[in-house]
């Protein structure tokens, strides 16, 4: 199993039927209900990706000041620098604002710092260089919100500063002509999840005014979508609109470099989705920043020369291949370091190395966090100082953790889920101790576990048709806040399997009911999963349409596999779940709810076998004996529920000892109404 726990969401049948009656396809209705969008009205509000979702940019604190200062610079012919970040969000934001200001007649210098030489954010040397080039106004995108000292230095140099950012704010904001960040505590802007490029787009819309909104969205939604998806922003609200518009614009983009990158990446004729951006486009753009050549990606997105665009696209793809090779080497080394750590140092992985590539360690940290189920902190050492990148696990708040350990750091910034920091090498052991203790305290000493959120059990495999799977397109675009749907099928028979892709991936054929289904489990082998032909498995998967040589077929993209429980094991597990007081799905509640006849048959059996002496028996043998006496199929779980109800109503005294039951009849006067049982009422409520 890849995940230690599967959480299956409940989907009340009544809600799902209402959604389907409103025209929502069955699988999509199941997902929406599982995510709490269980009425047509809630679903419509979530799915709406129209322009009505876009908020007025002037609702953002200081946006009026920012637009005013930039307009002043354009009118006066000042040289303006757009100062960004070297990740995809920062690069797209830099190019978006640069392109707009140049089209408005501005003299604009785009500036993206070198990851290895300068690090993240504003720095004094860059500001001094820009001042020497005649820059009077610097507009930051995707950075600057924590640059208090750098903002003061800009004032000393005679540079005005407009900050636009989307990262978490500290207690003190930089002093600048404008500080635009939806995370400001005094910012009334209703949507807080914009990417850096989203905030830059809002500045452009504020400068252009309402009359130019459609024109500017058509021109810049592609860049905004790429940056938003790449920075793993929540694809809800405004971001849903931005990304959907951007995907439409991306196919017909007028940027020669972006067109060339789509061709070079093999996407020219393929459907473009948020997944296309996240797994194919973004890594290639990101590779330039990670390998210390962020200016290449900036040039690619800004160039108007088709031939130069082709050259840059090929170069980015080559850089991405180099990045992958370096990443693999560091990851292998870090696994050995992680496995050598003592238990008290495994609440948070804090690893440091002198030869690691600063541009790659963030990706390695993400992989380590997933593998070891804890936050991961990677530190690149040079000359007694360390630059760190960290990634979260299970929603752990990294920004709060770094704040807690701020006394040991030179600086830090970022999000809850991804952040960066600088530290003196001598402080790393104390930082590792402090961070592990902080994580341990936050989790109560409990081990973090990998959890797979499952939207629902597909009880009828006939739903997994091409038409049924295509009905899920309604939920696009997928991403943070709206992940790809994950379903489960229980008790599938493995009828064939083979390893493909040079032995790196597992291809399966599964039998579920009367359906035969193709499945692919990426980055998994038969040995790793322990699966063999003829075995039954529970499978968690995302359904997709696979195209091969013009044929379109349904394929299950496997998220996880586990051995299927026997019927008796599954029944006992469901009963124990109910006993622990956990919520049940309507189907589970219905499966546990005994019939009147089952109560009668069990009571007759007990009257004949549990007096005068109490009955000592296992649950399984008791259920089998009752089933034989009544000529029925044995049901361990409902037999146990019947016993619990009898005990609750005072008819018997029931004691559990490991797997054994001790049942003694009680003397009762008059009739006992089982319908008054709290257990039965609870099961009926959950059944719906």
State which of 506, 530, 564 marks the end of a domain.
564
In a domain, 655, yes or no: yes
- Specify the residue for token string 């005013």: 68
**One domain for residues 59 and 207:** yes
**One domain for residues 390 and 419:** yes
- Over the range 152-177, which residues count as b (16 or more CB within 10 Å of their CB) and which as e? ebbeeeebbbbbbbbbbbeeebbebb
**One domain for residues 407 and 385:** yes
**One domain for residues 346 and 408:** yes
**One domain for residues 354 and 425:** yes
Candidates 395, 345, 336, 335; CA nearest to 367 is: 335
Q: How far apart are CA 456 and CA 459, in angstroms?
A: 9
pLDDT in tens, 413-441: 888 888 899 999 999 999 999 999 999 99
In a domain, 71, yes or no: yes
Check residue 15 and give its pLDDT: 86
**One domain for residues 554 and 581:** no
493: phi then psi, degrees, rounded to nearest 5 = -90, 130
In a domain, 370, yes or no: yes
Three-state SS annotation for 104-117: CCCEEEEECCCCCC
| Number of structural domains in the chain | 4
For 554, other C-beta atoms within 10 Å of its C-beta total: 19
DSSP H or E stretch at residue 198: helix 196-208
Q: How far apart are CA 165 and CA 200, in angstroms?
A: 8
- Specify the residue for token string 């044929």: 551
Check residue 285 and give its pLDDT: 93
**One domain for residues 59 and 190:** yes
In a domain, 163, yes or no: yes
Are the C-beta atoms of 100 and 68 separated by less than 8 Å? Answer: no
Check residue 658 and give its pLDDT: 63
- Over the range 306-342, which residues count as b (16 or more CB within 10 Å of their CB) and which as e? eeebbbbbebbbebbeebeebbeebbeebeeebeeee
Q: Which are the contacts of 171, defined by CB distance < 8 A and separation ≥ 6?
A: none
Sign of CA dihedral 424, 430, 435, 438: negative
In a domain, 616, yes or no: yes
**One domain for residues 35 and 127:** no
DSSP per-residue string spanning 363-408: HHHHHHHHHHTS-EEEEEEETTEEEEEEE-STT--HHHHHHHTGGG
Q: What is the DSSP letter of 600?
A: H
Are the C-beta atoms of 121 and 148 separated by less than 8 Å? Answer: no
Sign of CA dihedral 144, 146, 148, 153: negative
- Specify the residue for token string 């089209």: 103
Check residue 153 and give its pLDDT: 96
pLDDT in tens, 450-461: 889 999 999 889
Q: How far apart are CA 372 and CA 449, in angstroms?
A: 9
C-alpha dihedral, 431 to 437 to 440 to 444, nearest 10°: -150
Q: How far apart are CA 637 and CA 678, in angstroms?
A: 17
Check residue 393 and give its pLDDT: 92
State which of 401, 417, 442 marks the end of a domain.
442
**One domain for residues 594 and 498:** no
Crossing angle of the two packed helices 237-251 and 213-230, in degrees rounded to 10? 100
Check residue 659 and give its pLDDT: 67
In a domain, 2, yes or no: no
**One domain for residues 60 and 193:** yes
Q: Which are the contacts of 16, defined by CB distance < 8 A and separation ≥ 6?
A: 26, 29, 30, 33
**Can you give the CATH number for the domain in which 358 is found?**
3.10.310.30
Q: How far apart are CA 142 and CA 90, in angstroms?
A: 5
Give residue 398's domain range. Answer: 341-442
In a domain, 536, yes or no: yes
For the chain, the C-alpha Rg in angstroms (whole number) is 30
Candidates 656, 594, 590; CA nearest to 630 is: 594
Q: Coil, strand or helix: which one is 199?
A: helix
**Can you give the CATH number for the domain in which 634 is found?**
1.10.10.10
Q: Point out the residues of the chain with pLDDT beneath 70.
A: 630-634, 658-659
**Can you give the CATH number for the domain in which 135 is found?**
3.90.1640.30
State which of 407, 442, 477 marks the end of a domain.
442
Q: How far apart are CA 189 and CA 184, in angstroms?
A: 9
**One domain for residues 73 and 164:** yes
Are the C-beta atoms of 220 and 270 separated by less than 8 Å? Answer: no
Exposed / middle / buried, residue 545 (Cβ in 10 Å: 0-12, 13-18, 19+): middle
Q: Which are the contacts of 266, defined by CB distance < 8 A and separation ≥ 6?
A: 280
**Distances in whole angstroms, Cα of residue 22 to Cα of each of 18, 19, 29, 31:** 6, 5, 10, 15
Q: How far apart are CA 160 and CA 532, in angstroms?
A: 67
DSSP per-residue string spanning 209-246: -GGGHHHHHHHHHHHHHHHHHHTT---SHHHHHHHHHH
In a domain, 254, yes or no: no
**One domain for residues 40 and 98:** no
């Amino acid at each position: 199993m890849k995940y230690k726990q599967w959480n299956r969401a409940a989907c009340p049948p009544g809600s799902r039927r209402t959604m389907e009656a409103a025209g929502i396809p069955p699988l999509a209705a199941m997902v929406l209900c599982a995510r709490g969008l269980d009425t047509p009205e809630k679903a419509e509000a979530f799915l709406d990706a129209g322009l009505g979702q876009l908020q007025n940019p002037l609702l953002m604190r200081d946006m009026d000041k920012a637009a005013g200062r930039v307009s002043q610079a354009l009118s006066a012919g000042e040289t303006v620098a757009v100062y960004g970040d070297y990740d995809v969000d920062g690069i797209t934001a830099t190019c978006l604002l640069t392109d707009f200001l140049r089209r408005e007649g501005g003299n604009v210098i785009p500036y993206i710092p070198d990851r290895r030489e300068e690090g993240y954010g504003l720095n004094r040397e860059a500001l001094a260089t820009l001042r020497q080039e005649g820059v009077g106004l610097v507009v930051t995108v995707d950075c600057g919100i924590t640059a208090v000292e750098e903002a003061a230095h800009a004032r000393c140099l005679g540079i005005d500063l407009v900050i636009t950012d989307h990262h978490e704010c500290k207690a003190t904001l930089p002093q600048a002509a404008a500080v635009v960040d939806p995370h400001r505590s005094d910012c009334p802007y209703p949507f807080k999840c914009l990417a850096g490029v989203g905030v830059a787009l809002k500045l452009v819309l504020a400068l252009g005014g309402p009359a130019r909104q459609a024109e500017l969205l058509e021109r810049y939604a592609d860049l905004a979508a790429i940056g938003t998806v790449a920075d793993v922003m929540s694809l809800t609200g405004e971001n849903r609109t931005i990304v959907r518009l951007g995907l439409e614009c991306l196919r017909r983009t007028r940027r020669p470099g972006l067109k060339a990158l789509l061709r070079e990446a093999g996407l020219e004729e393929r459907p473009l989705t948020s997944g296309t951006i996240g797994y194919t486009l973004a890594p290639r753009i990101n590779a330039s920043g990670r390998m210390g050549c962020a200016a290449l990606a900036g040039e690619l997105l800004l160039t108007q020369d088709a031939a130069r665009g082709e050259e840059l696209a090929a170069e980015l793809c080559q850089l991405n291949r180099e990045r992958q090779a370096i990443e693999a080497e560091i990851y292998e080394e870090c696994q050995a370091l992680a496995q050598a750590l003592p238990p008290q140092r495994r609440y948070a992985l804090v690893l440091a190395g002198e030869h690691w590539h600063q541009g790659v360690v963030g990706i390695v940290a993400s992989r380590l966090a997933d593998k070891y189920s804890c936050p991961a902190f990677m530190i690149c050492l040079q000359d007694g100082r360390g630059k760190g990148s960290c990634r979260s696990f299970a929603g752990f708040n990294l920004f709060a953790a770094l704040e807690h350990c701020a006394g040991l750091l030179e600086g830090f910034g970022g999000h809850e889920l991804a952040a960066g920091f600088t530290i003196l090498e001598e402080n790393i052991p104390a930082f590792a101790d402090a961070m592990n203790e902080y994580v341990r305290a936050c989790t109560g000493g409990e081990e973090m576990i990998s959890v797979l959120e499952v939207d629902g059990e597909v009880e009828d495999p006939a739903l997994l048709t091409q038409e049924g799977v295509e009905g899920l397109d309604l939920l696009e675009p997928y991403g943070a806040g709206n992940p790809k749907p994950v379903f489960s099928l229980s008790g599938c028979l493995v009828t064939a399997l083979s390893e493909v892709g040079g032995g790196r991936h597992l291809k399966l054929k599964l039998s579920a009911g009367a359906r035969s289904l193709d499945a692919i489990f990426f980055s998994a082998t038969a040995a790793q999963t322990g699966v063999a032909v003829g075995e039954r498995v529970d499978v968690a998967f995302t359904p997709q349409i696979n195209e091969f040589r013009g044929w379109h077929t349904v394929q299950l993209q496997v998220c996880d596999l586990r051995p299927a429980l026997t019927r008796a094991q599954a029944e006992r597990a469901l009963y124990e779940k109910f006993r622990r007081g956990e919520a049940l799905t309507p189907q589970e509640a219905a499966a546990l709810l005994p019939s009147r006849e089952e109560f009668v048959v069990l009571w007759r059996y007990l009257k004949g076998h549990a007096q005068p002496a109490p009955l000592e028996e296992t649950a399984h043998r008791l259920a089998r004996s009752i089933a034989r006496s009544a000529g029925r199929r044995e049901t361990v779980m409902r037999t146990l529920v019947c016993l619990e109800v009898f005990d609750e109503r005072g008819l018997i005294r029931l004691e559990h000892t490991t797997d054994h039951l001790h049942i003694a009849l009680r003397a009762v006067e008059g009739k006992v109404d089982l319908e008054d049982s709290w257990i039965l009422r609870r099961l009926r409520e959950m059944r719906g």
